[in-house]
Amino acid sequence: MITGTPIFEKKNVLITGGAGFIGSHLSERLLREAKVICLDDFSNSNIVNIQHLLQYPDFEFIKYDVNQPIDLDQFPELDKFRVKFQGIQEIYHLACPTSPKNFENLKVHSLWANSRAILSTLDLAVKYKAKYLFASSSVVYGEATEERNFFTETDEGRVNHLSPRGCYDEGKRFAETCVETYRQVYKIDAKIARVFTTYGPRMKIRDGLLIPDFILNALEGRDLVIYGDEKLEQSLCYVTDVIDGLARLMTTGPEVSLVNLGSDEVLKMVDVARMIVDLTRSSSRVVFEAPLVFLTRKGSPDLRRAREQLGWLPLVRLADGIQRTIDYTVANKEALT
């Protein structure tokens, strides 16, 4: 934070993409200890995710495209947080489209989120001497293979930068380079979380994301569609575990700058689909279709660094996390559809 800058009661935290799936859970978590400024343009999120937070005086939502230059002085609604005097203490950059089905229409948005927006938010961190955390992705490691499906933070990224999804995969790699460069040049405390597949309440439905679509289809008696074959595997980490990891990473010192967050348990998606059919007491079938462009074969994270440096491991069992997600979907089914 800026030397000599007073903190009035609580720290100020800025979250880009704060109305998204992970962002809304992070906003909720940080309200326990901070004043939260949520920036989101709803290009890949929904007001429903943060509607319950709007009542709190320590939460301020601003509809804004973070791909544009960010000047917090232009928002009079932030006067109550005394940003002009206190500044910003922490910045989480989460904004980036991740829609498998709508990926083609969001390519430029993805490109900007990993270039314009990353630089704009890093410039804010320099201005306010704020701690900074970028939510990167396991895609930077490249597609998993039989020989290479368990990734540690020291592994080099291998992505096809000219592929149909290069704006996301190479975009995340470029964004990481930006974070590390600002860390080296401007000496800010900047961190990278490589987030593996995460699931839970508030995921977008009918978007090619397997878990929410599995659940909704099971509730409606429709086929559960796996985009791949019976061998399709990936890890799944419940959203509150990931949020806990992000919050813990932000509290570390400058010596901790890069950590994997996710589950190291490999699951066959056909088994997960069948679990959802059983838990919803559905008569749905599990069927297979061609993979979507946005979906790639993903590996699992080496969690030794997260365990040693953050004291973190995922705690929510798959059956419990799936049941919570089912309960949320049932309670919000009308609004979701």
Residues designated as active site: 168
Is the Cβ–Cβ distance between 180 and 246 less than 8 Å? no
Each as own residue / partner, the long-range contacts of residues 316-321 (CB below 8 Å, 24 or more positions apart, any chain) are 316/238, 316/240, 316/241, 318/236, 318/265, 318/267, 318/272, 318/275, 319/275, 319/279, 320/238, 321/199, 321/200, 321/236, 321/238
Distances in whole angstroms, Cα of residue 288 to Cα of each of 12, 226, 238, 291: 47, 5, 24, 9
Is the Cβ–Cβ distance between 121 and 70 less than 8 Å? yes
The Cβ of residue 108 has, within 10 Å, a number of other Cβ atoms equal to 11
Pick the closest to residue 106 from 188, 224, 37, 204 (CA basis): 204
